């Protein structure tokens, strides 16, 4: 692993640090087959347990697809145990061409973003261990994403944010309600079209629900939801298209990630 950053444990915050006497966390880029497999096993375990994801082609508890070989895999590990506790993958514009497109293109028509492709990287397969879903690991992962974006001169981040349908679409309805307001307000932004549209008009928009932390985090950064959700039957999820312009990122986060 190429190490990018290391943070010490906070003994005063046991919620953030399940083992406050340990050696902290290390952020880096996977560089061996063993590291990639550890990431893929964590993805499989968490996605199947938390979202009841069905991986039709998965073997021996490993979540892998045709995009993995073309991506940079950002990972966070516990220093002492070596346990992987968080990951993201990033697909560069050049490698997207080699991979036959972005993953998002399997779910959306993104031709409206053609003018951005040369500066647009895609992130996905976000996955964080239940012990660390308090914000510390996701901020580390985004530090890694920001470093790669800055290093290669990319401006735009594309992604799909999955909302589980295990609650019969209640949470997806809340996200769509928020997205619709955003789309009506930002009339000049590019819109992408889902290839297999999730029927948002059937969602129960009356029941209360919370916006999932991942989507809330994207929006705090300054990202926009740029279209209607697609239906992902394998993940049993409504996938919302997310686009972030780093130049429009909230100034606080630009400073935090060293982009200012």
Structure tokens at 175: 């996200």
253 close to 116: Cβ distance less than 8 angstroms: no
CA distance linking residue 241 with residue 194, whole number of Å: 9
Q: What is the mean pLDDT of each run of 10 residues along the chain (260 residues)?
A: 87 56 86 97 89 76 94 96 96 98 96 97 94 88 96 96 88 90 81 92 75 90 93 88 94 90
Phi-psi region of 71 (alpha: psi -120 to 50; beta: other; left: phi over 0): beta
CA distance linking residue 47 with residue 126, whole number of Å: 10
Q: Is the dihedral of CA 167, 169, 172, 173 positive or negative?
A: negative
Residue 134 CA to its chain's centroid (Å): 16
For the segment 24-49, what is each residue's pLDDT rounded down to a tens digit? 999 999 999 999 999 999 999 998 88
**Per-residue model confidence (pLDDT) at position 11:** 56
For the segment 160-192, what is each residue's pLDDT rounded down to a tens digit? 999 988 888 889 989 998 898 888 887 778 899
**Per-residue model confidence (pLDDT) at position 182:** 84
Structure tokens at 150: 């800055």
Confidence (pTM): 0.91
**Per-residue model confidence (pLDDT) at position 59:** 77
**Per-residue model confidence (pLDDT) at position 168:** 85
**Per-residue model confidence (pLDDT) at position 49:** 81
Nearest to 23 by CA among 37, 39, 11, 15: 11
| Residue ranges per structural domain of the chain | 2-256
> CATH topology for 2-256?
Aminopeptidase (3.40.630)
Q: Where are the beta strands (DSSP E) in 33-183?
A: 72-78, 84-91, 108-109, 120-128, 156-164
**Per-residue model confidence (pLDDT) at position 17:** 57
């Amino acid at each position: 692993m190429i190490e990018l950053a290391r943070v010490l444990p906070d003994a005063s915050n046991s919620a953030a640090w399940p083992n406050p006497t340990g050696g902290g966390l290390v952020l880096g880029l996977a560089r061996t087959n063993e590291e990639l497999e550890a990431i893929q096993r964590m993805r499989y375990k968490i996605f199947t347990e938390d979202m009841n994801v069905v991986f039709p082609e998965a073997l021996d508890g490993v979540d892998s697809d045709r995009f993995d070989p073309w991506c940079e895999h950002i990972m966070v590990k516990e220093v002492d145990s070596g346990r992987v506790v968080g990951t993201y993958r990033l697909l560069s514009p050049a490698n997207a061409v080699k991979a036959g497109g972005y993953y998002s293109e399997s779910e959306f028509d993104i031709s409206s973003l053609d003018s951005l492709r040369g500066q647009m990287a895609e992130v996905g397969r976000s996955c964080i261990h239940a012990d660390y879903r308090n914000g510390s690991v996701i901020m580390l992962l985004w530090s890694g994403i920001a470093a790669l974006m800055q290093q290669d001169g990319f401006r735009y981040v594309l992604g799909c944010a999955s909302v589980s349908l295990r609650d019969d679409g209640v949470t997806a309805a809340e996200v769509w309600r928020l997205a619709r307001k955003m789309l009506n307000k930002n009339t000049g932004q590019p819109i992408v079209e889902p290839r297999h549209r999730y029927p948002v008009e059937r969602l129960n928009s009356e029941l209360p629900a919370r916006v999932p932390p991942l989507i809330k985090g994207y929006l705090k950064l300054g990202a926009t939801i740029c279209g209607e959700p697609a239906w992902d039957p394998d993940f049993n999820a409504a996938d919302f298209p997310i686009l972030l312009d780093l130049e429009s990122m909230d100034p606080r986060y630009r400073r935090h990630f060293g982009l200012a």
